[in-house]
A and B are shown apart, each in its own frame.
Chain A
Amino acid sequence: MALSAEVLGMLAFTLLAFWGVSLWALTRTLRQESRKVDILEQQDRMDTYSPEALAELREWIEDHPNDPLADRARAQYNECVDVVTQTDRHFYDWSDADINRLERL
């Protein structure tokens, strides 16, 4: 029995959507892991937030200064700012302009 183009198309789509995405996620996360290990072998600390995520964290802290988790959030924010400003190698893509704008809370 010859398979129709529709069946073959769906088979290809399914393999791409499942195995393609899984293998992409697996490769990407394992590569990121090796980069993290590489960075941590050279320096004992590493940036923990991307510029976008750190900006969101700052916005949340400013919007919720009295939240029970605000101190924890501030500590995490300041930790990332310190690492980004004091270390040479970063995991996330930080431009010089991004780094110059950073301030501890």
Chain B
Amino acid sequence: MSDTSPKTARDEWGTRFGFLMAMIGGMVGAGNIWRFPYVMGDNGGGAFVLAFLTLLFLLAVPGLMAEVALGRYTNKGVIGAFRDVVGRGGMVGFGVVVLLVNIALMSYYSPLIGWTLYYAVHSLLFTFTAPGFEAQAFMDSFFANPALMIALHTVVMGSIAAILALGIRRGVERIVVYAVPALVISLVIMAIRGLTLPGASEGIAFTFGVQWEYLIASETWIAALGQALFSTGLGWGIALTVGSYLREYDDVPLGGGVFTAIGESSIAILATLAIFPVVFAVGVEPDAGTGLAFVSLVQVFPEIPLGGLVAILFFAGFFLATFTSGLLITEVSVTTVSEETRLSRTQTVLAVCGGIWLLGLPSAYSTEVLDFLDFVFGNWGLPLATLAIIGIIGWVLGPERLRVLTVNRNAGIHIGTWWNPVIKYVIPAVMLFIMGYFAWENFREPEMIAGMLVLVLFPLIGYAIMSLVEGRRDTTDTAGVTGGDD
């Protein structure tokens, strides 16, 4: 925002519950529902749970505390937060990197939300339990219909724009306080239905059986690492943005760290209990991704008593999980662009959602484009954003400064000095490892080349934009607070 432009006071969460549900709503997405159960069962079940839990407490909980605290410390969106820490200049461009990654992420996530909306609508029409229904043919014809995909993408972005235009308290909070509990309730009912089916125990044995040898396999830890970091949305700017709307006496570490990381993972555990007992009870092959949600499960519903209602619960829950994530991912850009320009919130929402809609057209048109972008941004774009956010906290602001000034202020639990090396060394090292690992795994593949372009071009573009923009602005304020020496 221009320093002289008059804008009304910053919005804030109306209730503590609203903030907590926004955090969960932002982090719980498709991965919790259609990826986690299979990854867990495929990587040693209980052994995977132990690895995942360890990494959640080691990385995700402290990392989310840091990100929420940065938002609370600055009370600004991503670019404003970076400017407050590094001072005016090209380095603010790393905030632009986070913004660009979020826009790119949402451009292909919106068509995916459209898929869940389409299946939710068909569950309400009892399409999946109709005589002669063929799951594979239904999905194939859906994916082969670009006009329908684009229409759904348009409906999704239009709905998100309508909610975001109402603001944080009247828009986002009003939706998430109902949507997240509704998601949990729908999965609980589905789990009860699944667990009471004959043969459901095989699904439990597949996912919760302990294969201890997996605990010493590197693949288990890599899978757990990916799940712990990507599922919790650490470093994507969502936690920073949500945290920037906290009220004066709100806590950061208990709600923003522990509850968010463990709570959102609990929904993945619940999804496992809701999905796999049903899948195994009917004898369908367990799977992940579209194969699980749109083929395996859809084949299951006609086979079980009250299957039509279970289908409604599942797809309504699935849609809510993806939609609330889309809402919060888009809010990252809306908050930042609104602060950095003279546009009103409504104008910003229209500009951001319009831009994302336009950029999302190729992904809506072709699932190959969507898969490509998902792979590139999942493996390199998102870790780059995480590295940028955790990097400025760890190496510029300094974790000890943030800990004593913000993390432990009004805190529900006390965070000790153990937190500092995790933020400064462990998380950045892990993010570098992840990017390097995926580059090595996909060496010379087109995805890897695109990923390297993202790693090089996004920071360069961000630096160039902010050097230009900041050079034109008055430089009498904001010197930054570099020099954190812990």
Contacts and interface: CB of A to CB of B under 8 A. Distances in A.
A21 B479 contact: no
Nearest to A68: B481
B148 to A, nearest CB: 37
B405 A7 contact: no
Interface string A39-52: 01000001011101
Contact of B210 (A6, A21, A48, A67): A6
A10 to B, nearest CB: 4
A30 B17 contact: yes
A7 B259 contact: no
Contact of B16 (A13, A29, A68): A29
Given A3-B204, A46-B249, A56-B404, A29 B20 contact: yes
B46 A32 contact: no
Contact of B254 (A19, A25, A56): A25
Interface string B13-54: 001110010000000000000000000000001100100010
Interface in A28-66: 28-30, 32-33, 36, 40, 46, 48-50, 52-53, 56-57, 60, 64
Given A1-B201, A14-B46, A53-B414, A26 B405 contact: no
A40 to B, nearest CB: 7
Nearest to A56: B404
A15 B210 CA distance: 15
Contacts of A52: 414
B481 A7 contact: no
B174 interface: no
B142 interface: no
Interface stretch (B115-123, B214-222, B260-268, B329-337): B260-268
Given A28-B412, A60-B400, A11 B262 contact: no
B367 interface: no
A46 to B, nearest CB: 6
B205 A3 contact: yes
**Residues of B contacting A: mostly:** helix
B478 to A, nearest CB: 11
A25 B256 CA distance: 10
B405 A48 contact: no
A69 interface: yes
Interface in A71-98: 72-73, 76
Contacts of B403: 56
Interface string B50-68: 0001000000000000000
A60 B417 CA distance: 12
Interface residues of A, number: 41
Nearest to B401: A69
B349 interface: no
B208 A14 contact: yes
B243 to A, nearest CB: 14
B344 interface: no
Contacts of B270: 19
B16 A3 contact: no
Given A19-B266, A22-B259, A29 B254 contact: yes
Given A1-B201, A15-B269, A26-B259, A72 B408 contact: no
Interface string B262-294: 110110011000000000000000000000000
B222 to A, nearest CB: 21
Given A1-B205, A15-B269, A22-B262, A29 B479 contact: no
Given A26-B263, A48-B410, A73 B16 contact: no
B483 interface: yes
A49 B403 CA distance: 12
Given A10-B210, A50-B414, A60-B404, 16 more contacts: A1-B199, A7-B204, A10-B46, A14-B46, A17-B53, A18-B269, A22-B262, A25-B263, A26-B263, A29-B254, A29-B255, A30-B16, A30-B17, A48-B409, A53-B404, A69-B405
Interface of B: 15-17, 20, 45-46, 49, 53, 199, 201-202, 204-205, 208-210, 249, 251, 254-255, 258-259, 262-263, 265-266, 269-270, 400-401, 403-405, 408-412, 414, 479, 481, 483, 485
17 contacts: A3-B201, A4-B209, A10-B45, A18-B265, A19-B270, A21-B258, A22-B259, A22-B266, A25-B255, A29-B20, A29-B255, A49-B409, A50-B408, A50-B411, A53-B404, A56-B404, A69-B405
